[in-house]
């Protein structure tokens, strides 16, 4: 039986070869930076609790100043709040800079959605600059809080986290909240040279694909669509029968049509995978 490649005309084959050559030329000699964020639990201490509390106050002070003065630039908010915050808290300047950034992102989102009143940050999330942190291979994180004053976090390290600590990978901006620390690890990789290209056409009832070697595939998804349509009708009927009681309607949908639809869809997808 002739393959799809045999039915291609000469111009299409030449175009196919040009694509393959271009992709090979792009991938050779290139290094990509991969960033993987890893979550660590830590043993809290009073110094970190106070830092989180004060940081939340700094963010909310910046929010109020930005809303009242109608500013959205980092420079303007710095001139408005730096002297006041520095005198009150006396933390490392990097904490003030990250508080500006956090406050401005909240204000911009608040203005975009046209909310009323003044927005309030409710949970402290500190962006720790690389200038104030040092991550040690033994699982401790040292944070420069003030000049010549440091806070040490003892991280809870499992086998998964230990691989990153011992890899010697560079770290980015660390996030600290009241429960955990999120550390981004950066490393460079050389991508493997692709053996070919695969184009996929995604439709409601099928997935069709063709590759540069002439192969093709077609996956039938009509059963999944039939299940969705069937249970969508049953869900509408159950909601009509429970008018006036939203909680009862939603509960009935989850326990009958909604749950069965998700189960049958999962089974159909697993059959397709095989």
Domain extents in the chain? 5-29+193-219, 33-189, 221-273
Q: For 82-129, how does the pLDDT look when each residue is reduced to its tens digit (9 = 90+)?
A: 888 888 888 888 898 889 999 999 998 888 887 777 888 888 889 898
Q: Write the DSSP string, 99-144.
A: HHHHHHHHHHHHHHTT--S-----S--EEE-GGGEEE-TTSEEEEE
pTM higher than the cut 0.75: no
Average pLDDT, stretch 206-227? Answer: 84
Give the C-alpha separation, 258 to 251, whole Å.
Answer: 9
Report how far residue 16's alpha carbon sits from residue 7's, in angstroms, rounded to the nearest whole number.
13
Torsion on CA atoms 203, 208, 211, 215, rounded to nearest 10: 180
Residues 6+ apart with CB under 8 A from 233: none
**pLDDT tens track for 14-69:** 334 444 444 444 455 567 788 889 999 999 889 999 999 999 999 999 999 888 88
- Token output for 194: 């692709």
Q: What is the DSSP letter of 271?
A: H
> Using one digit for the tens of pLDDT, what is the confidence trace for 128-177?
988 899 998 888 999 999 888 899 999 999 999 999 998 888 898 999 99
């Amino acid at each position: 039986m002739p393959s799809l490649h045999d039915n291609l005309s000469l111009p299409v084959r030449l175009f196919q070869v040009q694509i393959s050559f271009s992709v090979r030329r792009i991938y050779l000699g290139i290094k990509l930076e991969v960033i993987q964020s890893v979550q660590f639990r830590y043993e809290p201490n009073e110094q970190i609790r106070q830092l989180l509390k004060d940081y939340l106050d700094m963010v909310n002070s910046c929010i109020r100043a930005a809303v009242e003065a109608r500013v959205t630039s980092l420079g303007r908010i710095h001139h408005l709040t730096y002297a006041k915050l520095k005198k009150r808290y006396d933390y490392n300047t990097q904490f003030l800079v990250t508080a500006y950034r956090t406050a401005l992102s909240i204000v911009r989102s608040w203005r975009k959605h046209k909310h009323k009143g003044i927005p309030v940050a409710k949970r402290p999330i500190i962006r720790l600059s690389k200038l104030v942190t040092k991550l040690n291979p033994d699982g401790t994180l040292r944070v420069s809080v003030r000049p010549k004053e440091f806070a040490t976090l003892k991280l809870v390290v499992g086998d998964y986290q230990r691989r990153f600590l011992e890899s010697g990978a560079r770290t980015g901006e660390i996030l600290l909240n009241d429960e955990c620390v999120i550390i981004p690890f950066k490393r460079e990789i050389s991508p493997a040279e692709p053996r070919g290209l695969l184009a996929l056409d995604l439709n409601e009832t099928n997935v069709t694909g063709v590759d540069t070697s002439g192969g093709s595939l077609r996956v039938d998804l009509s059963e999944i669509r039939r299940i969705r349509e069937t249970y969508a009708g049953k869900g509408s009927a159950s909601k009509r029968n429970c008018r006036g009681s939203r909680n009862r309607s939603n509960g009935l949908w989850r326990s009958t049509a909604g749950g069965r639809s998700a189960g049958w869809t999962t089974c159909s997808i697993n059959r397709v995978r095989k």
